[in-house]
Structure 1
Amino acid sequence: MRNRLIAVFCFVCITVFFAVGMRGLTIKTIFSDLLPKDDPYVQVFSDHPNFGNPLTVTVMIKRTTGDIYNADTLRKVWEFTRAIDLVPGINHDSLISIATEKARYAEATPNGVDMRPLMEDTVPSSQAALDDFRRRVEQSPNVRTFYVSGDETATIITAAFLENLLDYDVVFSSVQDLAAKYRDDNHEVYVVGQPILTGWVYKLQEQTYMIFGITLLALVVALALYMRNIAGTLTPIICSSVAAVWGFGLVGWISAPIEPLLMIVPLLLVARSFSHCVQFSERYYEIYAHLKDKRKSAEVAMGVMMAPSILGVITEVLSQI
């Protein structure tokens, strides 16, 4: 309090420093950062990335009338398989459906066991070809169990994506556009997978920001109605805004992307800073009503509120570790 100008100068310099750091702020999902690195299962996954991939999109094409063994449905599966293989970031080796070469059936020959793709270079169209394709599926237990439904009305397509090349916006929009394209009166197309779930978060991001904005506006209105003076209203707003600049600026300086799903955390921290400032301001006005001296009231209020406020902040920090 005796060196208010120096304190204000340092305060402004620090705020400007963190404000500059906000230029490097990015909002992006990095899947590996969401996993607990000390978990043994996660460590096994990291050591053996070729055995499974959580960034997998599964597409189910379901025939609403009859089974999948018709030229129209198989053509959709064929075309969808090749279309999704063009989506940026896909791991081409992971793409599997009944229309890929990885889906094979076994057949005994005089020279041994012959392994061939279920579907050759063309989609079965004649009834004889369709019957032969059904026979091939029956001779492939893995395909029949995992890629064709029990009632034979649906089949799935699985495609994994490379994390270093994955753009959730692009994958989500591309796969959803394909699903809409191949969906008709006789076919339903369902899409699931972690990239699709995260894609929904990206798609609804603007709505999230609108909700945050309405929430903050409601906090400001409630504060104005409660304090009923300019200083008591502006002080928590300024302090909370500066706290947000410091937090986001630090994240920008260390080049750590912010996970969209965790954007609620900064909002909660700003709200908590809001709450602390309101308590400070309210205590200041209570003391000022008795002392009638602004500087002395500020000193007394800080002396009374500093210890419990710092204790509260430390408790919050430790609870996040």
Structure 2
Amino acid sequence: MKRMAERLLLPIRRSEQWVEYLLFHQRPWVLSLFVLVTLILGWQAVQIRPDASFVKMIPASHPYVENYLTYQQDLSGLGNSVRVAVATTEDDIFNADFQDVLRQVTDELFFIPGVDRAAMQSIWTPNVRWTEVTEQGFVGGPVIPPDYDGSEASLDQLRINVLRSGQVGRLVANDFRSAIIEVPLLDFDPETGERLDYQAFSQRLEQRVRDAYVTDSVSIHITGFAKIVGDLIDGAKQVALFFALAILITLVLLYLYSRSIKGTLVPLLCSLIAVIWQLGLLNALGYGIDPYSMLVPFLVFAIAVSHGVQIVNAIRLESLQDQDKWRAARSAFRLLYIPGLTALVSDGIGFLTLMVIDIQVIQELAVAASLGVAVIILTNLLLLPLLMSYVGVGSRAIEHARRQAEQGGEHWRVLTWFATTRGAATALSVAVVLMVLGLYVAQGLQIGDLDRGAPELRADSRYNQDNDFITANYSTSSDVFVVMAVTAADQCSAFETLSSVERFQYAMQSVPGVQSSVSLADLSKRITAGLNEGNPKWRAISRNQFVINASLAYVPGGLMNADCSLLPVILFLDDHKADTLTRVSQAVETFAETYNSDALEFVLAAGNSGFEAATNQVIARAQYEMLAWVYGVVSLLCLLTFRSFKTVLCIILPLALTSLLCQALMAILGIGVKVATLPVIALGVGIGVDYGIYIYSRLSNYLEQGLSLTDAYFETLKTTGKPVAFTGLTLAIGVVLWVFSPIKFQADMGILLTFMFLWNMLGALILLPALTAFLKPHPELTSSPELFAPDR
């Protein structure tokens, strides 16, 4: 093991000598190169745009999604869509003024780029019709009378047509005081050929619909994925505000810590350059920033600040021995290059493990985070000491460090108790208790959304209020789960097919969470009863195929495909909570296993709830696989660096406890594991491992010099421990203010990140020395003097 590690680390040691020579002997050329790259990538960064897509949010290789994509052309309007409800304060919608507004809103939506106009539905679109059986046979037509003129007679006829259309509870509210416009969306903008810009689409909805038509007597309510994304992107301004506030807090606290203006501004500058480089590279590679990765730049900034504080602190301490700026920066570089590189490589590869999750938005987040870590290697591990070799930390900072050294830092000695046998036993006992409690509480952690509406937004947000309005006033909710009944061509209207679909719908009605359902079988029963004077005894699937054919003489769009080989069964759910989706999915799969045959198959799934069910299943399988990869990669890199399994345990176990407690906290706060939250756990591990590697690398140096563990840890606390504690507290203070964000997603992330910053810091300062005292790794195996010694 030792020989293999030496062979693997040999290129790193050689790269250190080469990089050190290049940085400190060719400074003008290297600095010029950094300036040039920053200008180029800065120009790229300002061009980055929000980039969100419905397809990116769903697992493309999941069987549900594959089935949907197979029949996508036959399921128009049952994928990505927006619902716009136009409501009135009058007694009902049957007045000329309201109908004029509803017509104008329908026309306005029809001409917005990205709308699937052929599948759009409203009582003002010609594809929404009524049918009636008379003595002369079937009669019917569009819901809006052809001679509609707003008169009382035409409004009365409209009322009759609405009642005959079967759209009450679907396109017309149960209380007749609002009407819905169903707006299916395309994945691209037909005018430009580009991917649909959800921010622009959401803004058009606001400007051309809500702002233009809302009055004292008319209100507009809009729901759908595109509106959620649009609201989140609009909230990015708040994210930028909190990001700026975090930078300001870091600036103040860093100055109070270092007492050096240059030692404060330079690491912050390098950290901001890292963010600029990351955004520039993302834009150059064709990526954008979607609402779920817009917090990644802050995490990159946080990691960069963490490493920057370590480097400035090392330069400050080296300046006590030699106040020459160039030599102090060079000595600090030698001291921190290997542990810093190890920590950052661990971070980057750990973030890449998110690629195992087959959801494009998470995979793009993995790319963004990994790119950010890669540029930190250049901006903070290389550029920062280069700049400090020019400016230095300043005499005031050196004098402050000297006074602290003379005082001896005795206030840190209290933490050395955890490096003693009794202190270690106490710390580890508490850790075991927390682990047991965490395991118990984390059992309540659920996959997916745990709230109605859009949990990314506040419960009192306009979107969730709109969603509550539609749910309260319509029989068909916005949470749609579509099951595809697949037959041979021309067999979707056969008696056996329709009776099986009817049996399926009856079974689904008994599943908690299913509100109602619609299928071709419902249409056939309703028309058959109409053919027989409305007698309810005839409201059934006829065994006579000629009667069935007559009942299906006219079928509205969306209930069957062109060759009659597929009929969707649309289930309207009470909500899209994780429990609801799990129950419905399991019920459908159980029914399909029992009744599927060569003649008829029930295939899952489409609709927004069907896609979310698929996403939840992928996340449920991938969350532990992702954690296994993250910890596996980080452990392997630590093992190669320190060449001791015991040392790996000392660094990794505190991180594992933090991950477990974070899951328990999510369960307590009612935060489900989903696309928005799953990556945070992996990102927290990446930030936390830096603390452990820096502390243990310095601890191993002092142990190698022959100091006892308590003395070695005391010296480590005075040098590396202080910046670790400072960084953890500073970053926690910066993100805890996110709880005041109007975006609930950001507030949740603020809570989780604050928790992980603090617990990773405490784990590194308390559990790491306790584990070291308990496991007693042998110095010869845990230290690498040729790697970590500042002088060679």
TM-score range, shorter chain: 0.7 to 0.9
Are residue 168 (structure 1) and residue 188 (structure 2) matched? no
Residue matched to 2:119: 94
* 1:240-255 alignment, distance < 5 Å: 240-255=271-286
Confirm whether residue 41 of structure 1 aligns to residue 64 of structure 2.
yes
Aligned AA for 1:184? T
Kept in 2: contact 1:283–1:301 (CA 8 A):
yes
Instruction: Tell me if structure 2 keeps the 8 A contact 1:58–1:159.
Output: yes
Superposed, 1:298-313 pairs within 5 Å as: 298-313=329-344
Comparing 51-60 and 149-158, the one that deviates more: 51-60
Following the alignment from structure 2 to structure 1, what is the Cα–Cα distance between the partners of residues 274 and 218?
A: 53
Deviation (angstroms), 1:278: 0.4
Q: CA 1:298 to 1:174, structure 2 compared with 1: closer, same or farther past 3 Å?
A: closer
| Cα distance, 1:201–1:6 mapped onto 2, change above 3 Å | same
Q: Structure 1 residues 37, 212: closer, same or farther in 2, change over 3 A?
A: same
How far, CA to CA, are the matches of 2:214 and 2:156 in structure 1? 25
CA distance, structure 2, for counterparts of residue 119 and residue 72 of structure 1: 15
Look up the match of 1:117: 142
Larger radius of gyration: 2
* Larger RCO, structures 1/2 (Cα 8 Å, 6+ apart): 1
- CA distance in 2 between partners of 1:230 and 1:313 (Å): 26
- After TM superposition, the structure 1 = structure 2 runs for residues 240-319 of structure 1, keeping only pairs within 5 Å, are 240-290=271-321, 297-319=328-350
- Residues 289, 117 of structure 1: alpha-carbon distance in 2 compared, 3 angstrom cutoff: same
Calculate the aligned-residue CA RMSD, in Å: 2.9
Tell me the equivalent position of 1:13: 33
1:159 aligned partner: 183
Q: Is the 8 A contact 2:52 2:291 kept in 1?
A: no
Residue 277 of structure 1 deviates from its aligned partner by: 0.7
Aligned residue in 2 for 1:73: 98
Q: Percent identity?
A: 24
Which letter maps to 2:124?
A
1:256-314 Cα offsets, whole Å, 9 max, x none, are 22225422211221121011110121123224324656555445433443333233323
Which of 214, 235, 239 is the matching residue for 1:183?
A: 214
Q: 2:84: which partner in 1?
A: 59
In structure 2, do the counterparts of structure 1 residues 207 and 151 end up closer, same or farther at CA, with 3 Å as the change threshold?
Answer: same
CA–CA distance in structure 2, aligned partners of residues 108 and 88 of structure 1: 39
Farther off after superposition, 197-206 or 152-161: 197-206
Distance 2:67 2:125 in 1: 29
Amino acid at match of 1:194: F
> Do 1:15 and 1:242's aligned partners in 2 also have CA atoms closer than 8 Å?
no
Alignment of 1:108-147 (within 5 A): 108-109=133-134, 112-123=137-148, 125-141=150-166, 143-147=167-171
SS at match of 1:305: helix
Match of 2:255 in 1: 224
Structure 2 unaligned segments of length 5 or more: list them: 1-19, 190-195, 355-792
Instruction: Provide the C-alpha distance between the structure 2 equivalents of 1:34 and 1:309, rounded to a whole number of angstroms.
Output: 34
Q: CA deviation at 1:29?
A: 1.9
| Residues 317 and 283 of structure 1, relative CA distance in 2, 3 Å threshold | same
TM-superposition CA deviations, 1:95-143 (whole Å, max 9, x none):
21111111111122466534421113454634343333222222222x1
In structure 2, how many angstroms separate the alpha carbons of the residues matched to 1:297 and 1:184? 69
Q: Distance in 2 between matches of 1:170 and 1:253?
A: 22
Q: Residues 289 and 98 from structure 1, CA distance in 2 versus in 1: closer, same or farther, beyond 3 angstroms?
A: same
Following the alignment from structure 1 to structure 2, what is the Cα–Cα distance between the partners of residues 257 and 144?
Answer: 42
In 2, Cα distance between the equivalents of 1:46 and 1:196?
23
TM normalised by structure 1 equals: 0.85
